[in-house]
Chains A and B, each alone.
Chain A
Amino acid sequence: MKIKKAVITAAGPAQRELPIQSLIDRDGIKKTVLELLIEESIQAGMEEIGVVVFPGDEKNYANAIGKYASQVQFIPQEKPMGYGHSLLTAADFVSDHPFLHLVGDHLYVNRTKKRCARHLVEIAEKEECAVSAVQPTRESFITNFGVIGGGRIPGSLDLYKIDRVIEKPTPTQAEQKLMVPGLRAGHYLCFFGMHVLTPAIFQLLDKEFRKNEGKILGLSDALNELAGKEKYLALEKNELRFDMGARYGLFKAQLALAMSGKDRDRLMGELLEFFTMKELTTKEN
């Protein structure tokens, strides 16, 4: 199994500005969020990248991806019918191949040398199945994410077999259905916004979409069904992930990039100076 295509969903009507926001990366170079996501995909070995966009955003986005324009295809989602539908829009682009999927409003900052998407793709190719990146998350935050239930693969420290997926569960549901042996109390494996999926997902999404015609289509129900149909694994990643749509999300992502890059010491000094001045001013007042 070889994975050569990636799909980035960036068509959310409320988040259309996020992918084109600029950040300074680790090397001190100004890049857009979308550029960073495309780089993550390319470094994972992707050759073609489909970006699902709100109709009309193609031009703005094309301006935001600089040198990668030749590898990227924009796929407009005609109607905002939900996350699942946005992925389904890329079905023709993906065709009958497994693919890497990233969400356009999240940014990943690695703690290790190996990029997150790269690692995910390697595992998917090795195991020849769908793999989603997950992260242990405290129960107080799980109502924001898709959460998996399953068990650790024997002999592996970071790989799990997925039995069930529930979107934004309450801790009550989570305790009953999503407990994963080996995790700390009150922690669950939540999606990281990064998956390698098989084309089977499109059939499931399509079936779901037709069944609930006109309704918003999520992704988790289809993933839950996928877990029942074929081998589907989760890879535990402890990388930093930032939801840029959240309050201060963009700022936090920038801070994390800066703190792990070449300007770290300079920035630390400036921040320290800023805090000291603020403290002194507060005392004087």
Chain B
Amino acid sequence: MAYLLEIIQSTDPEVKNRSIDQFCTEATVEEILSEAATLDEFRRSSPNLYLRVRSLFFLYAIHRFYIPGKENVSSEGLIPYEAYEHLLKRRFEEAIDLFLKVQEKHGANEGISSGLADAFHQLAFQTLADQVRMSVKSTPGNQWMFRTGHPDDHPLSIRKELLRKETNGLYPLLHESTPVRMDITHCGWSDIFFLGMDFPEGAQVLNISVNLTINDGKLAQIPVPPIETFFRIIDEPVLRLTSVDLETIRSITRLDEVFDFAKDYLGLLKAGIIASGLIPSGMEGSGIPLSVLLENMVGRGKGIELVTQVNNIPKGSRLAVSTNLLASIISLCMRATGQTDKLTGMLLEEERRLVAARAILGEWLGGSGGGWQDSGGVWPGIKLIKGVAANEGDPEFGISKGRLLPFHTLLNENSVSADTRKKIQDCLVIVHGGMAQDVGLILEMVTEKYLLRSEKEWEARKTAIRYFDEVVEKLQAGKIDEIGKFTQQNFEGPIQTIIPWASNLYTETIIQSVQKEFGNHFLGFWMMGGMSGGGMGFIFDPEYKIKGQEFLRVVMSETKKKLRHAVAFAMEPVVYDFQINENGTYAIMDQNDEALLPSGYYTLTTPEMLKKEMNTLTSCQRVELEIIGKLYQKKPQFENFISKLFERMIPQTGNEEVFGQSLDVVLKDLGFDKELHRQIKNDLKLGRIGLAQNRLPVNNKIEDVLPDEIFHQTFLTDPGYFAAGLEALKNGELAIVTLAGGVGSRWTNGAGVVKSLNPYSKLSGRHRNFIETHLAKSRKIGQLCGRSYPHIFTTSHLTHQAIESYLNNEKNYGYEGAIFLSPGKVIGQRLVPMERDLRFLWEEMPQQLLDEQAQKMQVNLRNALINWAKEMGEGEDYRDNLASQCIHPVGHWFEVPNMILNGTLKNLLDQQPQLKHLLIHNIDTLGANADPLLFGFHILNGAGLTSEVISRKLDDRGGGLAKIQGRLRLIEGLALPDEKIEFNLSYYNTGSTWVDIDQLLKTFDLSRIDLNNPEKVKQSILNISKRMPTYITIKDVKKRWGKGQEDIFPVTQFEKLWGDMTALPELNCSFVHVDRMRGQQLKEVSQLDGWLRDGSASYIESICDWGGR
């Protein structure tokens, strides 16, 4: 039997848990391809989910990590556009077939392997997602909801108790309080659905339900269940949904609006309503008026109101707030519709399990998702949650080893004594570090690594399982002080071995500070949830807990301040007080004058009501206003109600004005060119410029460049090149220019941090940012040539200050040579996008189709964003955000002329007149260095610009090297008349260019002497600038609000790009094909794990010298 297939099919743990590494590292490409063919054939016919998925991950790993770089595997090879289109449309099987056909015809190459890796990877996750969805749908108790398509078939009705008006004229209020959960063990993310379904014996957590309150160092408050949800009947035929904490209220009258999750901030409430069966899934798209359904359920003229409130827990707390909020809504609606035994009190075990299953369904509907322990707040107190083997009768039987839902064992006071419970509360400090993170990526990585059984990670998982047993044992023995030791070891060992990205510079800085301050009284760190930086736990000696809370409050705030330009924070860090909640989710029924909603609800709704004539209010609204008028002074929850009401009713200085004022100041300070902006705005509105207009006319002849038309690093074997390069370096003829003006929108989804300062990875034992890495490479080459050369970082208004202060604080990272900052001189102001550009981007450009529900969400969201653009005014200035988020750098073309304009080049030449060349590269091209071989080639070849290109892989999108009207030049993806053309271009632009300074100046019609003449410099640059195309682009920008909430808006900006210089006929341009390791760029955080695993990170380490740091 084939070796890899044997691993997959074996039931012997020795064989089954073997890693793919060993075989693939040693095998030839022919052997690997033969194994891959067997695996592919097997996975197509196997009915077993687990075997299918593991085969798919093996195939992914083969093409992602093992085929590239093997002997006889070409680095060059075109990717068929048709296959790419299949991938976009999620037709993975078709894409795979096509890729394999090309592979069979032309042999293995890196381009095709990149396509196959992507297709297998996506298909694997799709297969898993489909299985989870199927299991959730087929869970008994959920199935009927998918069959019920008409209100007349709706089998649920509202419980009688809720339909009877009280004597005061109001309906009673069903009020559910739900704790959040924390995971005390962190057993290697073992609650990921697939892991639990495949490895139930290793899927286990110890999970505690807790009440919380924020400890701000002022008046101590008793922790309460952080989630509250309310249900009542109203005398209006609408479904009224309110989120008090998100300050959103909406009266829904159409059924399709209930299924529109992205329209407003109420997506979670809607998902809860649907998953509870109140409005069953089967009704989506039925086109029936909501009033018909409401009339059947609650009677003519009546409606339902659902209100939620999350008390002071910000988003990203790692305490599973959203899942427990969803569970709370589901439980509440199930109670109201008679799907629970009792209307109030605690739930029965079987009801909790159903709520948990439905919360998974709700998460899928709402496009989010966590693990199976997240709904832990539904259960009371402390519980062990473990995976369960699937038995006959389970929907998973015969498909996977384990069931979708785990088994919960409550640990009562016989198992964990009251004294131990108290100790937990006395020792543990819970905080939210304030970082904004996407855990989804981490969960995908965990699944992948589990299936590949890479040796290191598999050993780490086994260690985590041992730690779990230790933690449970210590807990039952009441030895809380020893638990800290294991949670810390777990974080430092298994967790980071499996996922290095679970830790970060911010977390480690805080842990070190706490260790330094408290010594042995700090008992250990405890990572909560998917990754650190958000919700975290610190265990102290009980007598040091309060001091620990105070210290953490200060140290987190200071560290955040220090790192704020480098790391994305969503909010100010907070410290919590907590208590174990021994009820789980719990409901009471408030009646008569007690049947009042939280005061925040009335702050939201009262202004609107007061604007109306009394006789237009419903009877319930009138009664409610009267009761509040009578009681607001007596009820503690209405403290400050009147002042908050006034704040809301009387127009305050709006955000826009505050943002606007500071924006005007910033624009003035930066010398913003109003005239240019007005012209761009006008052209955009009139349709002269736009996404569609970026493209070159279709009659341009765009062809691929043949291998013999360019140079190849591999073939530069003449030792003269290296010698010439080394000699020039020794003579001080080179300076490095790193383009660091951008904020890296893709790196942080528009969070606005400075990408060049982001501590992206640990290299040689420490977190390093991009700037430090570039300097470390320059140091190494400097040692080779015995001389340090100058390093220039071009900056912009968005990055200058931060980079300058980092370099000062870090003493230039010990770099021995001169460092220059070249500040940007041009900025743009972002504009609200035009509808036609958004539609062009989303409807006419190739788009990745998402998983069914996620796609639905995306379509809804995009409609909402188009409406937003219309409401804000298409083509108008974007001002509704922080000033720094309203302005933009104008593309890297300007960064080079800026060096001339702002005098940096002049200073450089004054200090080092022998300087003749520059190596310009992007901040994220980590492999770019002053390689003497390539430098020597550039010198001897005599070109003005020598641009480095790499062979294209699937992810290398955005133009490339082309022959246009017979001339070789770099072309931007934005300018290609048809996206298919890109797939015919073999080479991708790395963004790295060697520049002959004098030839460049000549192109600008300048000489070295002219650099003393600012007027001439300005005019010359303007002349070339006019010849450079202006591209309109749409970028994402984050707007933060509330407690850790973020919205992402598309905004329009313009840019000019350096690659277009190669189109100038007077400039002698040359192109060299370099190794991928040298030319690849890190554009997205999601690339990091593959970058670490495929040897790229080791390569970077090998070309760096950290100077002992």
Contacts and interface: CB of A to CB of B under 8 A. Distances in A.
A and B form one complex? yes
Interface of A: 138-143, 170-176, 179, 185-186
A185 B137 CA distance: 14
Contact of A175 (B144, B157, B334): B144
Nearest to B276: A172
Nearest to B334: A172
A173 B147 CA distance: 16
B147 A179 contact: no
B142 interface: yes
A178 to B, nearest CB: 10
Interface size bracket, B side: 20 to 34
B329 to A, nearest CB: 16
A185 B156 CA distance: 18
27 contacts: A138-B153, A139-B144, A139-B155, A140-B152, A141-B155, A142-B155, A143-B155, A143-B156, A143-B157, A143-B338, A170-B155, A170-B277, A170-B339, A171-B148, A171-B155, A171-B277, A172-B141, A172-B354, A174-B144, A175-B140, A175-B141, A175-B143, A176-B141, A176-B354, A179-B140, A185-B147, A186-B147
Given A172-B334, A173-B339, A176-B354, 7 more contacts: A140-B155, A143-B155, A172-B142, A172-B354, A175-B142, A176-B140, A186-B144
B26 interface: no
A179 B154 CA distance: 19
B144 A171 contact: yes
Interface in B96-140: 140
Contacts of A186: 143-144, 147
B142 A170 contact: no
A172 B277 CA distance: 9
A142 B147 CA distance: 15
Contacts of B152: 140
Contacts of B142: 172, 175
B141 A140 contact: no
Nearest to A142: B155
A280 B1004 CA distance: 90
Contact of B338 (A139, A170, A176): A170
Interface string B849-860: 000000000000
A174 B148 CA distance: 14
Nearest to A174: B144
Contacts of B147: 139, 185-186
Contacts of A175: 140-144
B144 A172 contact: yes
Contact of B154 (A140, A172, A174, A176): A140
B207 interface: no
B337 interface: yes
B392 interface: no
Closest 9 pairs (CB-CB, A-B): A171-B144, A140-B153, A175-B140, A172-B339, A140-B155, A172-B141, A176-B140, A170-B339, A176-B141
Contacts of A173: 141, 339
Contacts of A176: 140-141, 350, 354
In this complex, the member of A142, A172, A173 whose beta carbon has the largest number of chain B beta carbons within 10 angstroms is A172
B590 to A, nearest CB: 24
Nearest to B350: A176
Contacts of A179: 140
Contacts of B140: 175-176, 179
A135 to B, nearest CB: 16
A138 B155 CA distance: 9
A14 to B, nearest CB: 15
A142 B153 CA distance: 11
Nearest to A178: B140
Nearest to A173: B339
Contacts of B277: 170-172
A138 B152 CA distance: 12
Contacts of B148: 139-140, 171
B574 to A, nearest CB: 38
Contacts of B339: 170, 172-173
Contacts of A172: 141-142, 144, 277, 334, 339, 354
A167 B912 CA distance: 93
Contacts of A138: 153
Contacts of A174: 144
A17 to B, nearest CB: 24
Interface in B329-364: 334, 337-339, 350, 354
A175 B140 CA distance: 5
Nearest to A171: B144
In this complex, the member of B142, B148, B155, B350 whose beta carbon has the largest number of chain A beta carbons within 10 angstroms is B155
A170 B340 CA distance: 9
A185 B138 CA distance: 12
Contacts of A139: 144, 147-148, 155
Nearest to A179: B140
Contacts of B141: 172-173, 175-176
Interface string B381-421: 00000000000000000000000000000000000000000
Nearest to B353: A176
Contacts of A170: 155-156, 277, 337-339
A187 to B, nearest CB: 11
A280 B144 CA distance: 42
In this complex, the member of A140, A143, A185, A186 whose beta carbon has the largest number of chain B beta carbons within 10 angstroms is A140
Nearest to A168: B338
Nearest to B144: A171
Nearest to A186: B147
Contacts of B143: 175, 185-186
B272 to A, nearest CB: 15
A179 B354 CA distance: 16
Contacts of A143: 155-157, 338
B902 to A, nearest CB: 69
A179 B395 CA distance: 14
Nearest to A144: B155
A142 B155 CA distance: 7
A143 B148 CA distance: 14
B153 to A, nearest CB: 4
A171 B140 CA distance: 10
A221 to B, nearest CB: 13
Interface in B748-777: none
Contacts of A185: 143, 147
Interface in B270-290: 277
In this complex, the member of B140, B157, B339 whose beta carbon has the largest number of chain A beta carbons within 10 angstroms is B140
B351 to A, nearest CB: 9
A140 B293 CA distance: 13
In this complex, the member of A139, A171, A173, A175 whose beta carbon has the largest number of chain B beta carbons within 10 angstroms is A171
A43 B156 CA distance: 39
In this complex, the member of A139, A141, A185 whose beta carbon has the largest number of chain B beta carbons within 10 angstroms is A139
B332 to A, nearest CB: 15
A170 B143 CA distance: 12
A205 to B, nearest CB: 21
Interface string B640-656: 00000000000000000
B764 to A, nearest CB: 57
A234 B157 CA distance: 28
A185 to B, nearest CB: 7
A170 B155 CA distance: 7
A170 B152 CA distance: 15
A88 to B, nearest CB: 25
Nearest to B341: A173
A153 to B, nearest CB: 20
Contacts of B154: 140
A173 B337 CA distance: 12
A173 B148 CA distance: 16
A179 B141 CA distance: 10
A44 B141 CA distance: 39
Nearest to B337: A170
A142 B339 CA distance: 13
Contacts of A171: 144, 148, 155-156, 277
B395 to A, nearest CB: 12
A176 B153 CA distance: 19
B303 to A, nearest CB: 21
